[in-house]
Amino acid sequence: MAQALSHLRVLDLSRVLAGPWSGQLLADLGAEVIKVEKPGEGDDTRAWGPPFLKDKDGADTHESAYYLSTNRGKRSLAIDFTQPEGQELVRRLAARCDVVIENFKAGGLAKYGLDYPSLKAVKPDIVYCSITGFGQDGPYAQRAGYDFLVQGMGGLMSLTGEPDGEPMKVGVALTDIFTGMYASVAILAALAHRDRTGQGQHIDLALLDVQVAVLANQASNYLVGGIVPQRLGNSHPNIVPYQAFATSDGHVILAIGNDSQFQRFCTVAGCPALAEDPRFATNAGRVRERETLIALLRPILAARPMAEWIEVLEVAGVPCGPINTLAQVFDNPQVRHRGMVAGLDHPLAGRVDLVANPIHFSETPVTYDRAPPLLGADSAGVLADILGLDPAAIADLRAKGILGG
């Protein structure tokens, strides 16, 4: 069965996380994705370890876990496009692709003739997605942008952490990942436009723009309410009680989203008077009286063990749950049932386990038939299959140092 995007070919000139994340998602959905890397070095993240994937004998390879997390489904083409002959090969490949993804500094590919105007000249309907820290224009356009930096500049860290502690970043590079997701959506929208009109276009995505966009209700709290939100730890700015509480043997999360859930919680917890108290009867009241209510709830929740709370609250229909380690996450029966680990054949390790794609299609299921590639593993195949180069021409490119793998 053909996958949803099996008719598309993507030239992925990006590295690290945001661009490769988009490329991996498109590959998961069936697109042919060609990852262009520098011979001898490759994507920076190949070296971002330990941990590194172990080979069949238990020795470390040069494939970091970080690199593996965002490059499955792709073919690796190691080509030096700082050389004119390499640039021409990339242009010829672009002419046979639907999409180009790149995350060089604004204008950085122009000197190689691989910027949008140059590739549009050889492929007028190309969809060209540029990902940078701050966009193609504006006073910060030439600055380098990194996820951690942008989490701070974009306000996320001002909202994350305990009120009396230091600002904290999120535990994964969330700005990069959201940017990759937005890139995929934008690419698919641009392709839909191309299919209707025959017109390609340039997509300009900036990490800072994305970080501001995903501030969601917190940004709206500021824009509508006029008050700068502060760090609340695990508490929610608009819903109470919606946070983690210490129990007698761990922590439990309460995610009470409406008044009826609060009433049911109070019944189970043996404190029905709190639900009847006018100060706490509505969510608006509970937000206003947050400190008073939380102080009353803490000793109640601390009196019983976590598992007991989860059992009785789930029966009562009160949203709650544990704070799992990753070992517990991947051993969770629901996570296992949903198939959130994908095992792929790997030339060095024999098998590599990766986090699966969460999208479940009824007609075009996601399949996994290509592990994250070794550097340059597909160089000869890509140039032969797409450009028709013969073995002698490929050998000549290798001899000149233009082609790796």
Long-range contacts of 218-227 (CB under 8 A, 24+ apart): 218/155, 218/159, 219/155
Phi, psi of 359 (to 5 degrees): -80, 130
**Contact 103/15 with Cβ under 8 angstroms?**
yes
Q: Which positions ≥6 away from 189 have C-beta within 8 Å? A: none
Spatial distance between the Cα atoms of 329 and 336, rounded to a whole number of angstroms: 9
Spatial distance between the Cα atoms of 373 and 376, rounded to a whole number of angstroms: 8
Q: Which positions ≥6 away from 291 have C-beta within 8 Å? A: none
Cβ-based neighbour number of residue 358 at 10 Å:
10
> How long, in residues, is the chain?
405
**Contact 12/372 with Cβ under 8 angstroms?**
no
- Residue 176 known to be catalytic: yes
Catalytic residue among 43, 176, 209, 378: 176
Spatial distance between the Cα atoms of 294 and 320, rounded to a whole number of angstroms: 16
Task: Tell me the DSSP string of 288-330.
Answer: HTHHHHHHHHHHHHHTS-HHHHHHHHHHTT--EE----HHHHH
Eight-class DSSP state of 232: -
| CA 158, 159, 160, 164 torsion-angle sign | positive
Residue 42: strand, helix, or coil = coil
Q: Which positions ≥6 away from 281 have C-beta within 8 Å? A: 259, 275
Give buried/exposed letters for 371-405 (b at 16+ CB in 10 A, else e): bbbbbbbbbbebbeebeebeeeebeebbeeebbbb
Q: Which positions ≥6 away from 345 have C-beta within 8 Å? A: 351, 371
- Mind telling me the catalytic residues? 176
